[in-house]
Amino acid sequence: MVALIVRLATENHRWGCRRIQGELAKLGIRVSATSIRTVLIAHGLQPAPRRASLSWRRFLRAQAHGIVATDFFTVETVRLRTLYVLFFIQVGARRVHLAGVSDHPRAPWVVQRARELSMGADPMVPPPRFLIRDRNAKFTGAFDAVLEAEGAKVIRTPVQAPNANSYAERWVLSVRSEALDHLLIMGVRYLERVLAEYVATYNEERPHRSLGLRPPTAIADDSPVAFNGERPERLLELIGQRQRWIQPAHQAPS
């Protein structure tokens, strides 16, 4: 009974002691509101009005499947040219959509990327209910308007608070440490090819601890990872072949 009271209070932050008492009565469990309050206090749970206030972490977990985060990151080429990469990541499934690469991401280019997202350019990343972005000036009012016209709510993170967009920041760390830090980038086309290969590997093959060591596509399909009976040595060979985007710098195409 105690476990059930704690579960009801934890999963329903707006339920007070009387509401929990009524829900338990439906199950044939008779318990007083005072006893429920005692159980909640013993487990560190506040009364409903204070328990109902959601933290940012709790909000992200509760709405994860409807949240898409976006951000830019930069890549320097061997010719000292700065390229800007725009991407979207579906928070619930951790699936990444590469929006584009540009050396001059002006407002019309960024707005077009928002249109493509809202129109379902990647069917595995549906139009979001919430879009998390930082306060980068490249995200203009027109960018927000395109998404809001499709029913999305744009949430801007606080100033100098990268943890508020932690899922996007974590993906940037992954793509740098697992791919870009091992290569000399020659230009836009080469970077696009590298990122396309990495995103395919990230979405379809790379295991994620937060997803039970399954890739995002397995979560989307609600299916386990299939190894087709291959021996471990053969699997390692296949993984090595799939990661062909990692190549020595002198072999990078111009």
Q: Going residue by residue through the chain (254 aa), what tens digit of pLDDT does each one get?
A: 899 998 888 878 778 888 899 999 988 899 999 999 899 888 888 776 655 555 656 655 656 678 899 999 999 999 999 999 999 998 888 899 999 999 999 999 999 999 998 887 666 667 788 899 999 999 999 999 999 998 899 999 988 888 889 889 999 999 999 999 999 999 999 999 999 999 999 999 888 887 778 888 876 544 444 434 434 444 445 445 444 444 444 444 44
CA 33 to centroid of chain Cα atoms: 40
The β-bridge relationship of strands 67-76 and 130-133 is parallel
Confidence at residue 132, expressed as pLDDT on a 0 to 100 scale: 92
**Environment class of 167 (CB within 10 Å of its CB; exposed 0-12, middle 13-18, buried 19+):** buried
Q: Sheet harboring 130-133: ordered strands across?
A: 95-102, 82-90, 67-76, 130-133, 153-156
Q: Which helix (H) or strand (E) holds 240?
A: helix 232-242
- Delineate the domains of the chain, giving CATH numbers in brackets: 2-53 (no CATH), 61-251 (3.30.420.10)
Confidence at residue 51, expressed as pLDDT on a 0 to 100 scale: 56
Residue 241 in 3-state DSSP?
Answer: helix
Distance CA 82, CA 103 (A): 6
Tell me if 136 sits within 8 A of 144, measured CB to CB.
no
